[in-house]
Amino acid sequence: MINNFTYNTPTKLVFGSGVIKDLPNVLKEYGNNVLLTYGGGSIKKIGLYDEIKTLLKDFNVYELNGIEPNPKYDPSVLDGARLCRENNIDVILAVGGGSVIDCSKAIAVCALYDGEGWDIISGKVKAKGAIPLVDVLTLAATGSEYDSGAVISNTAINDKRGYGSKYIFPKVSFLDPRYTFSVSKWQTACGTADAINHILEQFFQETPSIINDGLMISVIKSLMANVSVALNEPDNYEARSELMYACSLACNGILSNGCSSSGWPMHSIEHALSAFFDITHGAGLAIITPHWMEEILSDRTLNRFMVLGNELFNIRVNTKEDAKLVIKAFYDFFKGIGISMHLKDLGVDSNKIEEMATHILENDSTVGNYMYVNLDKDALIRILKASM
Ligand code: NZQ
Ligand code: ZN
């Protein structure tokens, strides 16, 4: 069944090899003062920085670089907002992965707010607008290029917040799969795990339909098949193009129009892990996934495992014991693409589990009628312990 829904993604996707040539025309619509934002230097290594500077020779380009993975409110968001105010920035051009785009989204709203920007990101104050944002994506993973979310870390208070607003949809996202040829095996695997998890977060819900299950299963199949190719042949355009498109589709809601809410519990848990230990988002999710599945497996949820087993792994599921084979198949898949399946290997300290569980409940509640399956403190502790 399809529940009532409203779907509106105003972002224009421009996809394919060489599409960046239209960048000056797109930016011109917003003005001449551009804030170019990027990370630690990968865009320089692949020649994209020079390509962009040449394309933007007629614009006034200001720069914010050094945006870190798990982007930080202080200094990146604060510095970016200050640069926007000081230089009358008309448009932000984010070039990079999800962290650069998310940071730029936060800058876009904070620059127009006179108070403490964290009040907006933490949901205390509602944004009233944002500087327009255009991006050039270099890593297939989060879907930030096609959604209205941004995830920002505030190290001073050990917090990592997901912020959503209609103002932060990118105006235009340029998706050229060639820019992802240089993405490391680790980030390729973690990006794919992130996108698969985005779909699983939407798949486990109360009102499945043939349409939604079919869309979601197709995108997971594409991710699973193409990641193996990309890991062996990083410059395989066919594989990189499917990964890029799949990741954009996975997080913007289009796959779950008309579905019931699920609460996105694995993201709630992972954001706490990244807040406390700055781990790579997709790796944290891959590790949590099988243990969350074990936690929620019941007669009520069995039907979801049936579809996944049948469609993805050729496993017929009639009983909970059968469903455990599906859970193991996910575990083996993530391990097979190179993700160590233990949080301790990423530097997570088990002494913090109780504190993290409290943090999750307080900041990102996993109990409520928007959850497919509630996770109380004991459940969160069980999942985290099993993931160590
Ligand atoms: O900083 P640089 O030098 O650019 O290097 C980056 C970074 O070290 C590198 N990289 C990016 N493109 C590359 C490249 N290396 C070589 N070649 C390229 N073409 O990859 C590293 C990781 O980049 P990052 O942007 O952090 O990765 P990702 O795209 O996975 O973003 C992760 C962040 O997004 C958030 C996560 O929580 C995390 O903070 N998320 C955002 C979401 C959203 N906005 O909707 C949803 C997600 O669930 C997620 O929470
Ligand atoms: Zn994610």
Tens-digit pLDDT profile for residues 194-239: 999 999 999 999 999 999 999 999 999 999 999 999 999 999 999 9
Whether residue 281 has its Cβ less than 6 Å from ligand 1 = yes
Average pLDDT over residues 110-138: 97
* CA 281–ligand 1 middle distance (angstroms): 9
CA 201 to chain centre: 12
| Contact call for residues 132 and 90 (beta carbons, < 8 A) | yes
- Tell me which of 139, 248, 274 to substitute to probe ligand 1's pocket, judged by most ligand atoms within 8 Å of the beta carbon: 139
Q: Specify the pLDDT at position 365.
A: 85
* CA 220–ligand 2 middle distance (angstroms): 14
pLDDT bin (cut points 50, 70, 90) of residue 280 is very high
Whether residue 179 has its Cβ less than 6 Å from ligand 1 = yes
| Contact call for residues 227 and 188 (beta carbons, < 8 A) | yes
| Contact call for residues 337 and 194 (beta carbons, < 8 A) | no
Residue 309: pLDDT over 90: yes
- Sequence ranges of the domains in the chain: 12-179, 185-387
Average pLDDT over residues 258-274: 97
In CATH terms, the superfamily for domain 185-387 is Dehydroquinate synthase-like - alpha domain (1.20.1090.10)
CA 103 to chain centre: 13
Whether residue 95 has its Cβ less than 6 Å from ligand 1 = no
pTM: 0.98
How far apart (Å, rounded) are the C-alpha atoms in residues 94 and 91? 10
Q: Specify the pLDDT at position 277.
A: 96
pLDDT bin (cut points 50, 70, 90) of residue 18 is very high
Q: Specify the pLDDT at position 379.
A: 98
Closest ligand 1 atom, residue 274 Cα: 37
Residue nearest to atom 28 of ligand 1 (CA): 98
pLDDT bin (cut points 50, 70, 90) of residue 343 is very high
Whether residue 270 has its Cβ less than 6 Å from ligand 1 = no
Q: Specify the pLDDT at position 29.
A: 98
Half-sphere exposure of 126 (CA within 13 A, CB side): 2
Measured from the alpha carbon of residue 149, the closest ligand is 1
Whether residue 252 has its Cβ less than 6 Å from ligand 1 = no
Instruction: Tell me what percent of the residues of the chain surpass a pLDDT of 70.
Output: 100
Average pLDDT over residues 307-319: 98
Q: Specify the pLDDT at position 52.
A: 98
Tens of pLDDT, residue by residue over 27-74, are 999 999 999 999 999 999 999 999 999 999 999 999 999 999 999 999
Average pLDDT, the chain: 97
Q: Taking CA 216 as the corner, what is the angle to CA 213 and CA 221, rounded to the nearest 5 degrees?
A: 120
CATH class of 12-179: alpha beta
Residue nearest to atom 38 of ligand 1 (CA): 70
Residue 327: pLDDT over 90: yes
How far apart (Å, rounded) are the C-alpha atoms in residues 88 and 375? 46
Say whether 331 sits in a helix, a strand or coil. helix
Residue 363: pLDDT over 90: no
Whether residue 144 has its Cβ less than 6 Å from ligand 1 = yes
* CA 195–ligand 2 middle distance (angstroms): 6
Average pLDDT over residues 91-105: 98
Residue 364: pLDDT over 90: no
Whether residue 245 has its Cβ less than 6 Å from ligand 1 = no
Whether residue 199 has its Cβ less than 6 Å from ligand 1 = no
Residue 42 corresponds to which tokens in the numbers above? Answer: 């990968």
Whether residue 269 has its Cβ less than 6 Å from ligand 1 = no
Residue 154: pLDDT over 90: yes
Cβ-Cβ contacts under 8 Å for 211 (sequence gap 6 or more): 2, 258
Closest CA to 197 of 254, 115, 281, 113: 281
How far CA 288 is from CA of 90, 173, 383, in Å, comes to 41, 30, 7
